[in-house]
Amino acid sequence: MKVIDWIVAILVIVGAINWGLLGLLGFNLVTVLLGEGTMLTTVVYDLIGLSGVYALFLMLPKMTK
């Protein structure tokens, strides 16, 4: 795996865990760690979203076989 693939995998996992915690417990791990409404929080959310899109494009060729 390329370095970017590892980074994307980590960010997608962090995003999934955060959504799971938010849905189950109402606990937002990203805002607890980085603060609510900070620029860093926004950057992390943006990177997680872009990672999801990147992961989707990585999986598309495998899904269409």
Per-residue pLDDT tens digits of the chain, which is 65 residues long: 799 999 999 999 999 999 999 999 999 999 999 999 999 999 999 999 999 999 999 888 888 87
Any idea what DSSP says for residue 64? T
Residue with tokens 């760690």: 33
Residue spans of alpha helices (H) in the chain = 3-25, 29-34, 39-63
